[in-house]
Amino acid sequence: MPPRGVTIALIGASLLAGAFLSRTAADEPPTSPAERGAYIVRAAGCIACHTDKKGGGKELAGGRAMVTPYGTFYTPNITPDPETGIGKWSDEDFVKALSEGVSPAGDHYYPAFPYSSYARMTRADMLDLKAFLFAQAPIARPNTPHDLIFPFSLRIANWPWKLLFFSNRPLDPDPKAAPEINRGRYLVDALGHCGECHTPRNILGAVDNEDYLSGTKSGPEGELVPNITPDVETGIGNWSVKDIVFLFRTGFRPDGNDLQGGMREAIDDGLKYLSQADLEAIAAYLKSIPPIHYQVRAPRPPKAGGDFNFD
């Protein structure tokens, strides 16, 4: 057995720099559509919403309750079960659902399903995703109807909403930006749908891109969602790319505080599996967007005595 000092030195050498953060990612290039789709399902964060973890539901079989100001949505079954899932969907059905927010039966989806973001995915990524979903075990679980307040309970109301707020133009790469920034933007806007939580919504529930990624006090499930623009005081302007990637891998901020809630799920079911290059691209893109000064903060608990203020 080597002396202790040598062992520590060896560990030190192996822990150096980026190696620590990159080893958990699958860096082997995938070959089949389903394998590529296995990566898309992580990058697009499908599992967290389409799985009823609290109720012990099977992965991707839906049924998770999503409490919003408009009522409670129950996510649908997206396993390939032909009766209760999406097993009968054609490629065109699947592409239409993601790019237009329309079901095979012609119903307009609620924007709780982030098709506004997914519409910007490439068709190739959509079809790889479908190949992955169809390679999973079919689970028979009938969809739970949404429980929404009037007038949102009227699905027809989704149609004028779309006219007002939805555009399915693709996400064209910015020719002036570096490839890494364009890749990061695609991961953030099309796949990761970060803005669905991190950008505030207007009174009709549409994301308001004037305040792109600057956080909101009324996020999903009543959570406070932080400002992730590079504003130094209220956003992540002081974070390095490494800080951001470390958070995606472990769920810890640079100050050692742990993330919980929706972002913990986004990490555990998705982000932590992405490649080092992709996580760095997301971080580089976030650092490149316009900083917005906006402080998202919960009202402090009433002071019972003393002025000790722990944050």
Binding site for another protein (CB under 8 A): 7-21, 23-24, 215, 222-226, 240, 242-243, 246, 249-261, 263-264, 267-268, 272, 296-298, 300-306, 308-310
Q: Least CB distance from residue 21 to another protein, whole Å?
A: 6
- Coil, strand or helix: which one is 258? strand
Q: Which C-beta is closer to another protein: that of 58 or that of 272?
A: 272
CB 61 within 8 A of CB 140: no
Q: Which C-beta is closer to another protein: that of 93 or that of 223?
A: 223
Backbone angles phi, psi at 6, to 5 degrees: -65, -45
Q: Least CB distance from residue 155 to another protein, whole Å?
A: 31
Q: Which C-beta is closer to another protein: that of 195 or that of 215?
A: 215
How many whole angstroms separate alpha carbon 27 and alpha carbon 29?
Answer: 6
- C-alpha distances out from residue 261 to 22, 51, 137, 258, Å: 25, 15, 28, 10
Q: Least CB distance from residue 299 to another protein, whole Å?
A: 10
Q: Least CB distance from residue 136 to another protein, whole Å?
A: 23
Strand ranges (E), 141-245: 147-148
How many whole angstroms separate alpha carbon 93 and alpha carbon 90?
Answer: 5
Q: Least CB distance from residue 75 to another protein, whole Å?
A: 20
Q: Which two tokens stand for residue 123?
A: 């068709």
Q: Which C-beta is closer to another protein: that of 1 or that of 105?
A: 1
Q: Which C-beta is closer to another protein: that of 53 or that of 123?
A: 53
- DSSP conformation class of 121: S
